[in-house]
Structure 1
C-alpha cells in the first residue's frame, strides 16, 4: 500500500460472473475498495466499471497490472489464464488473489509461487471456503479433539451444466472439467483435515470434448484415514460434507459456502452452530486478504503456498489416474 492510503485498493482482472460475486462480497469489507478493472476489451471494462461504480477501467490485463494505484488484484479469468495473469501482476508489483484452482497444474503453481517469492509480493489461491466462519469453527473443533481422531471424510459438490463445447466448463483449452472447476474444493477440504495423502485412487467420466464431467476420488491418509470425494458437472449433488472421528462427527450442509454446522458427539445430542453471512460468503476471504496485504504479508496462514502446491500436486495425480 502507498503511504497514507486509508483503504486497500483492489483491481479486478476479468469481468465474468465470478468477478461480480467477488465484488458483492468485497463491498461488505470496510477497509477495501475496488478502484480498477481490467478486461481484454475497453468497452467491456467500461460497462463493468459503470455497473460497479469503479473509477479506473483498463482495456487490457497488462494495463491493470501496471496501475500503481492498485495494491492487490483479484484474478477472475478462466483457469487457463491464471498463470500468465498472476505472473504479470506479481512482476508489476501487485499482490494477487487468484481464483481457484491456482493453476492448471503443479508446475504452473510452483512458478507462480516462485514469482511471488522473488518479487516479495502477496499471493493466495482463492479458496474462499477456508475463510467461512463455519469452516473455521470445524477446524477448531477437530483440533480440540471434539470428535476424537478423524477417521473418514466425505464431501460432494456438483451441479448440472448445459453442455456447450465452447464454454469454460467443457473446453479443454480453457481448463474445463469437473475436477479443476469443482473437485478442487473437496480435495482442498480433505487436505485441510487429513493432510498429505498416502494413497490416491480416482475414476472419471468424460464429456464429448474430452474433459472430465464426473470424478470420484478416494484419498487415504498415513494413519489409515479415508476421504471419499465426488464432483460433477452432470448433476446437482447435495453439497454435504461429513467429518467423522472416533468420538463423533461434524456435518456441514452446502459446505463450500456454509452458514452452519452440526456437531454430533458420540452418544450425545446433536448441536447446531449457526454463522449467518454478512454478504454472499466472499466477504470473509476478501477481508482476510485485505488485512494481510495491509500488513505486508506474502502469504496467508489459512491458505499458505505449501497448501496450494500440495492440492495442485494431488490434482495432477488424480488426472494421471483418470487419463
Structure 2
C-alpha cells in the first residue's frame, strides 16, 4: 500500500475560532441560526452515517443508484487522472467512480477533502488499502476556504455529492460554485449531486425519521458548542423540528426551546436567552429543479454536459465542464 499523505490546512484551533465567530453572529441575530457545518464532530459524522441508512432518507440510495449506473460514462467523458472529493466523509459512494476511472486506465490519484481530520484519515487509509496503486492525498480543510490548496494532476474531476450544495443559501451557493470554477482549468470537471423538489411529505420524513436519529443529529450541534466553547446547553431542552419552506423550496431544520432558558457560552463571551417555543435554525437543505441547476452551473462558468437521475427521479447528478 502506498503511504497516505494527509495535508492539514485547518487545525482544531482554527475550527474553534470559526465556531466562535459563527456563534457570535448567529446566536446574536434576531432569528437565531448556526451553520450546518457544526453538526460534524466525530459523533455527528457517525450519526449522519446512520441517517444515510434510514428507510426515510432516500438521497444517499438514489445518488448511489446513479453513480453505480453511470460511473463508466463519467470515466469515459472525463478521462480524469485525479478524483477530488469535497466533504468526503467515509468516501463510500466514491468507490464506484474510483473503480470506473481505474478500469478506464486514467486514474492515478485520489484527493479526499474533509473538515474532520479523524474522519478523513480513516477514509483515506481505507481507500489506500483497497486501491494500492493510487496516490491518496487527503486534505484537512474547509471547502469554502481552502479550495485553492487542492492538489492533483489534471485533468481532475471534482465530486461534490450528497446534495450538500443545498446547504448553501443561493448567494453563497453562487459564490461557492464560482470558487470551484476558479481552481479548475478549462476542460476539467465538476460532478454535482442535487436533491430534487418533490412532495413535501417525502421531504420532511427524510429529515424527521421515526427512530429519531436525525433529531439526535440536530441536537448534536449543542454538544459541539459545549465541548468546543464550554457552553452549558442541555440538548434535552430543545425539540427537533423539520419543516418544508415552499417559497424557498428548501427544508429547514431547527431546534425549538421547550422552556424559557439561558445558554451560557463562555468561549464566545455570550449568554444566549431563549424564550419557550423560540427556534434556532441549524440547517437549510435546498431542493432543485433540473433547469435551475443548469442555470446556476452556467452562471458559475460551467457547461453541463450530462444530467442523470435515479429511476424514481428523486435525485439529480450533473457532470459539468469548466469553460
TM-score range, shorter chain: 0.3 to 0.5
TM-score, L = length of structure 2: 0.35
More helix by share: 2
TM-score by length of 1: 0.35
